[in-house]
Amino acid sequence: MEDRKVWFAVNGSEPKFGFGELPSKVYPTVSIRAPAVLAFHFRAGSWGDAGPGPE
């Protein structure tokens, strides 16, 4: 069974758990109020598997 959870980080902070028990299909939406750098990682087994962030 797959874990259907969302983790997030803001401005390079440690990843934090956001939501669990998500449906099999989700449509991510992001709201930004100030200049920021965004990195999205989909289909990763865990945050560590998501790959490097922006350089």
In a domain, 55, yes or no: no
In a domain, 17, yes or no: yes
Whether this prediction's pTM lies above 0.85 is answered by no
What pLDDT score does 37 carry? 72
In a domain, 53, yes or no: no
Range of the domain at 43: 1-48
Quick one: which of 16, 15, 18, 12 has its CA closest to 37?
A: 12
What pLDDT score does 40 carry? 67
What pLDDT score does 49 carry? 46
- Residue 48 is encoded by which pair of tokens? 């560590």
What pLDDT score does 2 carry? 72
Count of the separate structural domains present in the chain: 1
- Spatial separation of the C-alpha atoms in residues 21 and 24, rounded to whole Å: 9
In a domain, 54, yes or no: no
In a domain, 40, yes or no: yes
In a domain, 21, yes or no: yes
Low-confidence ranges of the chain (pLDDT < 50): 1, 47, 49-55
What pLDDT score does 30 carry? 73
What pLDDT score does 44 carry? 53
